[in-house]
């Protein structure tokens, strides 16, 4: 299974994972063979990339995600309803949000060894909700690595899911603007942090710390963030955790103005932001959960051989177990497995691009 940009889809390719719209309705089921009409329909629905099944490299179709598709969709729906309810009737369905956070924590706890393998596919119209759910899941995972108690995970999870609720107070035309914002427009967007805090702090059933996540998630470790230019440990740890998840998940998502960064690119950007934007400890706790080379990635090794990732070493995620399928001259060979964590001379040179994979198939 591999992720292919909408521009590189060809008729005949087979969908590996069901594609949903923002209502949670299936646009295309797993196993469907693409044709021109389907590809056009996906484009129109704002889908920018798709997981494709591939006979050649199909080692790992049963990739487990951290949370089930059912819980993910339920969470997206709950958040969407919360935002709409707050905007229209100034009510927060806190009960539903608390329930879904409990369910997410339960699922993550049941799968303690699963790494984040996939970045999900979202259409643009539900970006905020799907993104917020990911930020919630990723933040809870970081909290677990920091040995948080159940009550802390809940405070963190609720605040992370609702961190951007202040956006309902911001002009939609500015929020959805695909190109650069003027200074005034950016100042308007910045208001969402305080606006979110003002909404959440009115609810006494909610921990004030969850509300502070909304208030502080755009503060920077070096004190150059907004709205209050808090720095270092002056920023609550919950907000520092959410800041890391927020940045990372935005990087691995397709946006109207750019395609998604690859996981390796996103990790290196995150590392460059560490100590400036982000708390080093929180980045460390976060990265412990990320599979640098997700299962099924097609890699080139420093020997020139090509192979696909069949297993991930939890302690050394940059050194996965690779099934070698091609020799250095890109000739198909009898496959064999190499555990990169056990052979220090072997390294991953690069992740193969869609163009390279197509070339390989024509050989
Ligand atoms: Fe935000």
Tens digits of per-residue pLDDT, 96-155? 999 999 999 999 998 776 677 655 555 556 678 889 999 999 999 999 999 999 999 999
Domain of residue 250, residue span: 69-287
State the average pLDDT over residues 204-231.
97
Instruction: Give me the CATH number covering residue 240.
Output: 1.10.3210.10
* Same domain, yes or no: 74 and 223: yes
CA of residue 57 to ligand 1 center, whole Å: 38
Tens digits of per-residue pLDDT, 219-265? 999 999 999 999 999 999 999 999 999 999 999 887 777 778 888 88
Dihedral sign computed on CA atoms, order 308, 294, 178, 22 = positive
CA of residue 234 to ligand 1 center, whole Å: 19
CA dist 71 and 78 (Å) reads: 10
Answer yes or no: is 58 within a domain.
Answer: no
Instruction: Give me the CATH number covering residue 47.
Output: 3.90.105.10
pLDDT computed for residue 340 by the predictor:
95
pLDDT at 49 over 90: no
Nearest Cα to Cα of residue 45 among 100, 122, 145, 138? 122
Answer yes or no: is 292 within a domain.
Answer: no
CA of residue 54 to ligand 1 center, whole Å: 37
CA dist 48 and 6 (Å) reads: 5
- How many domains are contained in the chain? 3
Answer yes or no: is 215 within a domain.
Answer: yes
Answer yes or no: is 18 within a domain.
Answer: yes
- E strand or H helix at 302, and its extent? none
CA dist 143 and 156 (Å) reads: 8
* Same domain, yes or no: 156 and 258: yes
User: CB neighbours (10 Å) of residue 112?
Assistant: 8
* Same domain, yes or no: 168 and 45: no
* Same domain, yes or no: 49 and 73: no
Chain mean pLDDT for the chain:
88
CA of residue 103 to ligand 1 center, whole Å: 24
Beta strand 2-5 with 49-53 is antiparallel
pLDDT at 59 over 70: no
* Same domain, yes or no: 205 and 333: no
* Same domain, yes or no: 235 and 311: no
232, 255, 287: which is the final residue of a domain? 287
């Amino acid at each position: 299974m591999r992720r292919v940009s909408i521009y590189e889809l060809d008729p005949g390719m087979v969908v590996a994972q069901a594609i949903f719209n923002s209502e949670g309705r299936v646009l295309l089921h797993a196993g469907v063979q693409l044709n021109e009409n389907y590809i056009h329909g996906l484009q129109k629905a704002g889908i920018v990339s798709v997981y494709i099944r591939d006979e050649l490299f199909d080692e790992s179709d049963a990739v487990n995600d951290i949370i089930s598709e059912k819980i993910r969709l339920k969470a997206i729906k709950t958040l969407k309803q919360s935002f709409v309810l707050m905007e229209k009737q100034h009510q927060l369905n806190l009960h539903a949000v608390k329930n879904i956070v409990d369910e997410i924590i339960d699922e993550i706890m049941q799968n303690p060894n699963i790494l984040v393998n996939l970045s999900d596919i979202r259409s643009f119209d539900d970006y905020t909700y799907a993104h917020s759910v990911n930020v919630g899941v990723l933040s809870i995972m970081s909290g677990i690595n920091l040995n948080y108690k159940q009550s802390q995970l809940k405070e963190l999870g609720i605040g992370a899911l609702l961190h951007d609720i202040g956006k309902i107070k911001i002009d939609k035309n500015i929020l959805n603007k695909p190109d650069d914002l003027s200074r005034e427009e950016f100042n308007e967007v910045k208001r969402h942090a305080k606006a979110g805090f003002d909404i959440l702090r009115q609810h006494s059933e909610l921990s004030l710390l969850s509300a502070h996540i909304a208030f502080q998630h755009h503060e920077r470790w070096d004190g150059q963030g907004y709205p209050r230019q808090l720095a270092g440990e002056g920023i609550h740890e919950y907000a520092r955790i959410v800041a890391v998840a927020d940045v990372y998940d935005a990087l691995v998502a397709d946006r109207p103005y750019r395609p998604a960064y690859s996981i390796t690119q996103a990790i290196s950007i995150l590392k460059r932001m560490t100590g400036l934007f982000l708390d080093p400890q929180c980045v460390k706790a976060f990265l412990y959960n990320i599979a640098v080379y997700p299962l099924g990635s097609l890699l080139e090794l420093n020997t020139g051989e090509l192979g696909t990732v069949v297993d991930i070493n939890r302690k050394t995620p940059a050194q996965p177990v690779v099934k070698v399928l091609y020799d250095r001259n890109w000739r198909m060979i009898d496959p064999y497995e190499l555990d990169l964590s056990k052979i220090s001379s072997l390294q991953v040179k690069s992740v193969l691009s869609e163009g390279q994979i197509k070339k390989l198939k024509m050989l």
